[in-house]
Structure 1
Amino acid sequence: MQTIWALLAIWFVALAGTVAAESSAEIRERRPDLFHPESGLRIDRHRAPVPQDVPLPAQRVSALKAKRLMARGAVVLDVYGAAQSRYDELDGTWLVHGPRQSLPGATWLPEVGRGVLEPAMASYLEREMERLTEGAKARAVIVFCVADCWMSWNAAQRIAGLGYLRVYWLRNGTDGWRELGWPLEPVLPVPVTLD
C-alpha cells in the first residue's frame, strides 16, 4: 500500500510541476531582459517559477528516475546559493550558517548556477566536476537546487556545455524530494580551491 501512495505522490508532484509551467523559450521571449543574450542563461531573479523544460543536451528528470540514477552511481550535485553568496578568499571556505538539508550523497557547490560566473567560480565548477566524475564525461550528473530556483537550470546547461553527456535537471530539487517523504541529509559546501 505504501508503494501505491508513493507512486501517487510522485505522479501528483510531477503533474503539479507541469500544469502551469511555461517553456523556457516562452519565458525568454516574454522577458528577454532576464537572460544573457549569448549564453541564454538566466541572469536575474533566480528565485522565480522555473520552466517545464531545460534546453538540450541537458534533460529534465523525475524524482523517481533521479533516485534510480543515484542507485547506479550518478553524481548528485546541489547548486543552492550560499547564504552570503561569498567564500572566504583566504581559505576558500563558504560563509554559510550551517549544513543544508540535501539529497542523500549530494555534493554542494554553491553559486555555480549564476547566469554569469566570475573566473574563480568557473574554475571551481570545472575542477569539482572533474573530481566528482573522475574524468568520466559519460557519468550521469543530477543537478538540483530547490523549487522555483533557476540556479539548477543554469548549472545543468553549463555542465552540459563542459562536455558532460548525461546531465539531468531535477526541477523541484530538495523541495520536491521532501514532498515525496524521501529523506534528506546534511551537507556542507565544498571549499573553493584557491590558485
Structure 2
Amino acid sequence: SALQRGYELVGATHKSDKYLLVGLAQIDAVPAMKGRRLYLPQQDSIYTYMARGMLNEAGLSFQDLRSVQYEKFPQAGLTALTLGSTDATVVREDDWAEWAAAHPGTARVLATSQPVPGGFSVVVKKDLPADARNRLAQWFGTTPASTGLPPVTLRPEANEYRRVAELGLFTPTSLPGVSRITAREAQTLLAQGATLVDTRTEKEFKAKRIRGAVFAAYVEKSLKDVAFNAAQDDFQALDKLPKLDKAQPVIFACNGAECWKSYKAAKVAAAKGFKSVYWLRGGLPEWDAMGLPTEGG
C-alpha cells in the first residue's frame, strides 16, 4: 500500500514465498471449506490476507466458515490439523513440503497463492532528497549482524506487492456465474447490442462515463465481502431500467477493481434471472486507460 502512496522500494530480506491453503485429506476443493474450521495467525498477518484471497477466488468468505481461529504461531496450524482441532490452515510452501513428507496422507493442498515478497520489505519516501534515499538504501543493503535485520538485497516484482495490497480491499478476480471481461471485450459486446449498466453515483455518472452506458445506481450498505447481504443494499434502479431484457447480454461496471458496486450488482442480476451477465472489473478506469470513448463532464 505504501508503494501506491508516495514510497519507493529499497528491497526485501528474503526470497518470495507462495502460500498454501491446506485442508484435511477428505476436503477435496476450496468450495468444500464451507461450514468448516480454519486456523490462522493474527488477523493482520500475511497468512490471513492470503487465506481471504484464496477463499474469495472460490466465492467464499470467512463468514461462510463455521469458525476462524486466530492464534500466534503460523506453523501450529499444521499441528492443529494432526490433532483434529481444525479442518484447514495456511502455510508457506517451504514449511508444507517438510511437514507433508513427515505426515503423508494427512492433508492436501486446496489452493496456492501467487508469489509474495518474503521476510521484511523496506520502502522510503520518494520526496526525500536523492542522496538521503541512496544512503538509506546502502545502509539497509549492508546492515551489520548486530542490528538483527538481514541485509535488504532482493527486489521483488512490483506486482507481487500490488497483489497483497489488493487482497484486503479489492474485489475478487472472478465471480461464479458471471463472466469477467476486459474493456476491449466490453466494447465488442456493446457493438453487438449489449447494455452496459453504470452502478456508480449519479454525480459520478454525469461527470464522466463510458459512452453509451445507462445509469442504475447500486446503493451499497453491506460489507465489501463476497458474502455480502444484498438485502441491506438498494438496487431497485435495475428494475426501473426501460427495455432491459433479461435474455440479452448486460454488463456491469463502476470505479475499478477496488469498487464493489458492480461486483454486487452483477451477482444480484444473475440471481434475478438475467441470463448473460458480464462484469467489467476494471470499470471506467480500465476503459479510460485504453483510450476508449467516454462522455459527460
Interval containing the TM-score (normalised by the shorter chain): 0.5 to 0.7
In 2, Cα distance between the equivalents of 1:97 and 1:65? 23
**Could you list the runs of 5+ residues in structure 1 that have no partner in the other structure?**
1-19, 34-46, 83-93, 188-195
In 1, Cα distance between the equivalents of 2:209 and 2:273? 26
Structure 2 match to 1:126: 239
Pairing of 1:17-36 with structure 2 (within 5 A) = 22=53, 24-25=56-57, 28-29=60-61, 31-32=62-63
Structure 1 match to 2:176: 55
The 1:161–1:185 alpha-carbon spacing in structure 2 relative to 1, beyond 3 Å, is same
The alpha carbon displacement at 1:138 in A equals: 1.5
In 2, Cα distance between the equivalents of 1:79 and 1:53? 18
2:108 matched to 1:77? Answer: no
* Contact 2:198/2:205 (<8 A) preserved: no
Which protein has the bigger strand share?
2
Pick the aligned partner of 1:145 from 251, 254, 279. Answer: 254
Amino acid at match of 2:270: A
The 1:97–1:25 alpha-carbon spacing in structure 2 relative to 1, beyond 3 Å, is closer
Q: TM-score, normalised by structure 2?
A: 0.40
* Contact 1:79/1:113 (<8 A) preserved: no
Percent identity between matched residues is 27
Structure 1 match to 2:188: 68
Q: TM-score, normalised by structure 1?
A: 0.59
Structure 1 match to 2:273: 163
The alpha carbon displacement at 1:127 in A equals: 2.4
Query: Which whole-Å deviations, capped at 9, do the CAs of 1:37-72 have from their partners, x for residues lacking one?
Result: xxxxxxxxxx9311110121x211121211110001
In 1, Cα distance between the equivalents of 2:204 and 2:180? 30
Higher Cα Rg: structure 1 or 2?
2
Task: Report the aligned-residue RMSD.
Answer: 3.0
* Contact 1:50/1:150 (<8 A) preserved: yes
**Could you list the runs of 5+ residues in structure 2 that have no partner in the other structure?**
1-49, 65-167, 223-229
Amino acid at match of 1:61: I
* Contact 2:197/2:251 (<8 A) preserved: yes
Higher relative CO (Cα under 8 Å, sequence separation at least 6) belongs to 1
How many residues align structurally?
135
In 2, Cα distance between the equivalents of 1:97 and 1:170? 17
The 1:139–1:26 alpha-carbon spacing in structure 2 relative to 1, beyond 3 Å, is closer
Structure 2 match to 1:174: 284
